[in-house]
Structure 1
Amino acid sequence: MTNKNQPFTLPPQGVSRAKQILQLLPIGKTSFYKLVKEGKFPAPIKLGANTTVWRNADVLAWLESLEQQATA
């Protein structure tokens, strides 16, 4: 069981589903999938007909690039 008071963090290894990634982002599901479709977010990996994941390392690198753009 996880503590709901602790912020969610992505481990650098492994993969995560959209629901987990959205916990890190200040946007909704529709905006998230729009970023994916436009190629502004890392490409997903299809594991099956109903399972899509993203590499945690790709997501973390994307977040870091946003931080660098904001401070530049």
Structure 2
Amino acid sequence: MAERHLRRPDVEYITGLSRSTIYALMDKGKFPRPVKLGARIVAWPESCIDAWLAQHTHSEN
């Protein structure tokens, strides 16, 4: 089964982060970068977002 990719609005909803926060964290190397799916389309592999969420859920407990 092919991996699902999430567009930015979905990533914002799932993580609770704003667009500017996502890009600021990416600049600091603290958030996964999206992959290019087309000439003007990027998305995040769902597994990368799941892993990021798991890491941040554990670090806050």
Same fold (TM over 0.5): yes
Pairing partner for 1:59 from 42, 49, 56: 49
Quote the sequence identity (%). Answer: 27
Q: Larger C-alpha radius of gyration, 1 or 2? A: 1
Aligned residues: 59
Which sections of structure 1, spanning at least 5 residues, go unmatched? 1-12
Pairing partner for 1:25 from 5, 15, 29: 15
Q: TM-score, normalised by structure 2?
A: 0.82
Give me the whole-angstrom Cα distance separating, in 2, the residues matched to 1:18 and 1:29: 8
- What's the secondary structure of 2:17's corresponding residue? coil
The residue that corresponds to 1:41 in the other structure is 31
For residue 44 of structure 2, what is the amino acid of its counterpart?
A: W
